[in-house]
Structures are given as structure tokens and as C-alpha cells.
Amino acid sequence: LTGLARDMGGQEEGELLDPEVAFFHTLEVEPGEQALIARWQVADNYYLYRDKFEFELRGADNVSLGEPEFPQGKMKDDAFFGLMEVYVGEVAIRLPLNRPAEAVEGLTLAAKSQGCAEIGVCYPPIIRETSFDLRAAAATGTPAAVAAAPAAGASFGDMDFGSVDSIMQVLTGGSLGLMLGISLVLGVLIAFTACMYPMIPILSSLIVGQGEKMTARRGFLFSLVYVEAMAVTFGLMGAIMAVIGAGVGIQAYFQSPALLIPFAILFVLLAMGMFGFYNLQVPSFIQSRLNAISNKQKGGSLIGVAIMGALSALIIGPCGGPVLVAELAYAGASESVVKGFLALFVFGNGMGLPLLLVGVTGGKLLPRAGTWMNAVKAVAGVILLAVGIVMLERMPGIFPVGLTMTLWALLFIVGGVFMGALEPIKEGVSGWWRFWKAIGLVFVFYGFVVFLGGMTGGSSVTDPLHGSRLLGGGTVMMAPGGEGQPQAGAPQAKLQFKTIKTLDDFHTEVDKASAAGKTVMLDFYADWCTYCKQFEKYVFSDPGVRAALSDTVLLKADVTATDRADRELMEALGVFLPPAILFIGADGEERRDQRVVGHMEADRFQARIQQAFGSN
């Protein structure tokens, strides 16, 4: 407990609180006895999921529960379930009662809840039963007002545009009008990213293609129809999400290969258009078909413009990244078709505002060909390629780390070459040219560093040499208990764990280690556990950690499936969910005080090993 108390705001270690303490529950009968108030006092650095609450009233057929009245929570980008509404601090849920006037005794409320600790460990669902009686209803009894204060919304200035959680805090932190205003601003900001550049030629072909018939008024009308069709398409996305509800786990859905791969390909195609390999315009067969349909309408080609606007929303939508995901998640969490539609409709209008300025001039403000525009398009192309690689990185099972690191390296090197890194410096060139050449040289050099890092064990484009054999890292395997340790000066070893499944496996391995006079470390791991992968990447690869575990038997319990055997093992050892790391001495007893739950930095983990095993 002292470890948790010590790590305020971002726990890294310590014994998990008992669920009865972490989520202290009480039940009250509201004055007037027409409702119950179910309360939870949530400990610091813990939280409860809103959609995991369930209530059941037992003991009388003539008393039933009405619809629970939940207070407003806060949106959290949860590692286990995606974007969720959660409660922290104190939460009070009002449960209206449908009851007779006479007294009723012997009632029981079963309240089901589920929560997690901020260190990345979740508890299983917990059911608490509380008995109570109802007195005769007072003729003038008035229910006391119960409302938990809404979670304080973050300010727009504090928003992290790369964090869905941060954006959602702002969207849900105020009134409907404030939410719509923020959605409009977010749309305008997205409009000035590389996402929008591929759409400019499409609008250009629609407006300029009208020739002399195009006037300022008609250009504005074309742009307005295009933008509103795009906005309505976004609005329909929001309405659909509101109907489906927040339970679909939209963030998890957006991480599926079925979506990531097509979008990655789309961004590559858009980037190639930015580099001038082909022109981004409406295909002629589609344009001909749209014109045929449009010519039958009084509005001329406006129907075709509207169709292209709707298609554009589907094309540029994925490039909205965390902002679009947060908008869609807000729509799902609101479970209101009106709110969901309005949020995305206003967002789409924000994205289209710059295009209205283009249209009102009859296309005169459309970017003209020239050196500066070619440079802008090239930068946009590089950004789009980077987005595509980021999407591939999210699928390491399909696209190995070595491949994505090579793609990053090529992006830096080719980008540097196009910036003039390999061009000779001619007399009379401007200072700007020299500046871009210098930046290009940096890109080329960094690209080679990324490539070398990826080929020698590195896995991060921002830290390419971490884990690389060039700096002493590597993939030479170290067997448990120090067997097969590399010689001094050899590439540093990567810890190798023996996987166990059942409680019997655990006892067998501990008994064998004790007989050999060795200590044991057991790591609870799951594929979906973010902090587990942090341990593998940054902690277990640390030289000091490997040295501290050189004479320790290393066991791993992969509880990805969380099946019956996994649950039995976790229950027997008092583990709720990974990450959890247990240290067992040579005497076969766990050093419970040194157990690690959640994330911990390598130097602190090494110190924890030494505390658990002494001079081992």
C-alpha cells in the first residue's frame, strides 16, 4: 500500500488495493423512500467504468427498479476497452423505485461494477449485495436531489491533438453549444493539414471545368454544395455511431488490419499524386456518369458535385486521426442521434470552410503551379507516407518491425535526396537552397541510422539504436538461470522466459529451482497489455536488469486468452490482470513486498530485484 501512496498521479508499483477498499460501496435510501442512492468512493489513481454497472433488486415482487440516473463521468482512452466513460473520486447513482405505499421488508440490491487501477491493472467484475427495508411511503415525501458534480472539462488550450482522451475531455466538458464550437474549430484545424491537399485538385476540376460559365456566385454555390455534402456525410457517420453506441469500441475497431491496411494503401496513393506521378482528379468514366445524371437535373452539375463531396468525406476522413476518432467516440458515447449528427456535421463544415473561400472566387484562389506549390505538395506527400507507415506499425504480426524500420529509413533518405542533399553547391545559389540542402543531409544521415538500427535489433524510429547490437543490444538469447550466457564483449543478451500455463506448472518450476538453489521471477503477460510490451522493450533489455537476473529462473504466464487455467493461476497467486511480476526466493516463498504491479522504469526494477533477492 505504501508503494501506491508514494506514486501519486501515475503509479508505477506497489500492492494493489483490495477491491473493497479501492471501490468502497455504500447504499442509502433516499428521503421519501422513492429511490436508492448507490455510492462508490473510488480511491486515488483508480476508476470505475460507467457501462459496467448493473443493478438487480431481490426480495419482493411488488418493488422494482426504474432507469438508473448516472452522473456525468469523464472520457478515458482505456488500454483495455478503448474510449470509455469512467468515474473517479465519488460517484452517486440514483435508482428510482417502483413501490407500493405500504412498508416492504427484506429487500436486497445486487450492484455489479468493474474498475481498474491507473497502473494498467483491471479488476474482474464485482457484485456487492446490500439488504435494506422500506418504510411506508410518506404522503408528502419529496425525494432529495442527488447529483454528482460532472467531471471538470479540460480547457481547449490544454488539448493534446494527438490524444483521443484529451480531445474527448474537452468535447464532453461543456454545453452542447460549446461542443459544437469546439468541433467547428477542430474541423478548421484539420483543413490546414496535409489531409486536405489531395482534395484541392478534385474541387479544382469541378469548378474550373465549367469554363466561362463559372462566376463567383456559381463558384460559391459549387463549393457550398461540395462542402455541405461532405459535412452531411460526416453527420451521418456520427448519427450511425450514436445508434450503435459507445460499446462497439471504436478505437479497437480502427486498429483492425481490415481498416488499417486499406487506409495505408490509400495514403500511399494520395502521396504518389502529391509527388506528381499522376493527377488527382475525378476519373473520366465517373465524371461522365455524374455529368449524365446531373444534366437531367435543373441544377446542372450540382448533383455530381454533391456526390463528389460525399465521396471526399470518405476519402479524407481517416486522415483526421485522433480528432475524427474522438468526434465519432463522442457521438457513440452520447447515444443521441441529434448530438452525434450535429457534432460531425459541424466538424465537416469546419473542414470545408477554406474550400468556400476557394469557390467564391471562381477558382482564382486555387493554388497555381510553381516551385513553391511543388514544395508544398512534396511535403504533404511525405506526411501522407508517414501516416501510412504509422498504420503499418500498428500491425507487427503482419508487418515485422524490421520492415517498418526500413520503410522509415527509405522515407528519410529519399526525402533528403529530393531536398538536394546530393546536389553539388553551385555558385550564386541562395541561402535558402543551402539551408534545405543541409536539412536534406540530416535526413539522409538519420535515414541510414534508422536503417542500421532496424537491421540490428532497433524497433523505434524515434530511438532507432535502442536495443541495437551496434550499441551492445541484440537478440542473443539467455536461457533461464544463466544458462547460455554470452561471454564478455559479446552482444548483449535478451532474456528468455519459460512459459507456464497452470498452477501445477508454477509449483513444479519453483520446486526445481529451489532444489537447485535458484530464485524465480514470474512475469504475467498478455498480448493486449500495453505495459507488458514496455517491460519487454525497455526493462528486460536493460543490461543492469539482465545482470541482476543472471542466476534467476525466468517464468512467463501468458494470460492473453484469460481462460480457466489462466484465471485459476491468477486467483491462486493474487494477481488480477497483467502486468504483474512476482519474485520467489530460493526457499520457494514469494517476496510479496517486492511484487511489481504496473509499469516501472529499468533502474527502479533493477533495484527491486536486488531488494527481493539480496546479493543474488
CATH number, position 77: 2.60.40.1250
Same domain, 208 and 89: no
The answer to whether residues 492 and 533 belong to one domain is yes
The helix/strand count (H/E) of the chain reads as 20, 19
Q: Please identify, among 317, 340, 364, the residue that sits at the C-terminal boundary of a domain.
A: 364
Specify the pLDDT at position 509.
95
- Asked which of 364, 385, 403 is the last residue of a domain, the reply is 364
Q: Is 482 left (phi over 0), alpha (psi -120 to 50) or beta?
A: left
Position 301 scores a pLDDT of 64
Q: Is residue 402 part of a domain?
A: no
Residues 54 and 185 in one domain: no
pLDDT for res 538: 81
- Position 95 scores a pLDDT of 93
- 324 in the same domain as 231: yes
pLDDT lower than 70: segments of the chain: 1-15, 79-82, 136-175, 192-216, 244-256, 278-301, 315-323, 325-326, 329, 333-335, 358-377, 380, 394, 396, 472-494, 527-530, 576-577, 615-616
Residue 21 structural domain: 2-134
**Same domain, yes or no, for 51 and 160?**
no
Pairing of strands 519-525, 580-584: antiparallel
Do 191 and 314 reside in the same domain of the chain?
Answer: yes
Which residues, 6+ apart, have CB-to-CB distance to 286 below 8 Å?
none
Any domain includes 174: yes
Overall number of domains in the chain: 3
Residue with cell 480528432: 323
- How far apart CA 38 and CA 57 sit, in angstroms, is 12
Residue 175 shares a structural domain with residue 290: yes
Stretch (H or E) spanning 178: helix 176-191
Radius of gyration of the chain (CA): 30
Q: Note whether residue 458 is domain-resident.
A: no
Q: Is the dihedral of CA 502, 504, 507, 510 positive or negative?
A: negative
Per-residue pLDDT, 282? 52
Q: What is the pLDDT of residue 510?
A: 95
The answer to whether residue 274 is domain-embedded is no
The pLDDT value given to residue 123: 79
Using CB atoms within 10 A of its CB, is residue 524 exposed (0-12), middle (13-18) or buried (19+)?
buried
Nine-digit cell at 197? 491537399
- For 476, the enclosing helix (H) or strand (E) is strand 476-478
Whether residue 128 is found in the same domain as residue 161: no
Domain end, chosen from 101, 134, 167, is at 134
427 belongs to a structural domain = no
Output the pLDDT for position 176. 75
Does 143 map to a domain? no
Please report the pLDDT score of residue 87 as a whole number.
94
